[in-house]
Structure 1
């Protein structure tokens, strides 16, 4: 009987990638908290997870001439603008730093939980293969 990574890891292998994407987006929001006109972005986790499972990360357009730019298009729907939870401060920035920090902490805990789950799965496979 052959083992496949899909059966061993399940959905958690995709979850880890999406949580990484989410952490980068939240960190970017925090980094741009003082940038005038910056709009806070969020990630539709369920939709991003479905796209990760399908393996559709991006699309490359065919180049018909060597001087054309190499263009990569990411699928629509993953990145969304977050609805502001605070009144406009006059500079058009919609980042709520406290909210972003809380979201980052929650995502970090979920990331760690996913890593622990995967570690448990890998340990179980190692034990099974070594006959323990």
Structure 2
């Protein structure tokens, strides 16, 4: 009997991938805080996760497609700047921090699942 790690890990593997993509977008926002005319972006985590799960269930190799451009949304600033830049560093740092915390939570769940599988394999 073989172990299907995709089924064993559940949604957390896809969540890690989507969180990593979101980290890239948020990091780009923070890096372009001083760039005139730069428009802050973000991703809809729930929609991107559902689309990723649908691609994974469609067959092998289909989940490797980059969906970042299709799912990127533009952030509406609370206080627009005169140079057209919509990055608000406090908002971006808070979103980045929350995303990092959620990433760590998914890693913890995967770690617990893998430890459980290791114990089951060892017969404990």
Confirm or deny a common fold (TM above 0.5): yes
Offset at residue 3 of structure 1 (A): 2.0
Q: Given that residues 14 and 49 in structure 2 are in contact (C-alpha distance below 8 angstroms), is that contact kept between their aligned partners in structure 1?
A: yes
What is aligned with 2:115? 123
Structure 2 residue 74 is matched with structure 1 residue 81: yes
Partner of 2:65: 57
- Structure 1: where are the runs of 5+ without partners? 59-73
1:13 alignment counterpart: 13
- 2:86 maps to 94
Which of the pair is proportionally richer in helix? 2
Runs of 4+, deviation exceeding 4 Å: none
Assess if the C-alpha contact under 8 Å between 1:44 and 1:77 holds in 2: no
Larger radius of gyration: 1
Please state how far the C-alpha of 1:98 moved relative to its aligned partner. Answer: 0.2
Count of matched residue positions in the alignment of Structure 1 and Structure 2: 116
Once superposed, what is the RMSD of the aligned Cα atoms? 1.5
Gaps of 5+ in 2: 56-62
In the superposition, the TM-score normalised over structure 1's length comes to 0.82
TM-score by length of 2: 0.87
SS of the equivalent of 2:70 reads coil
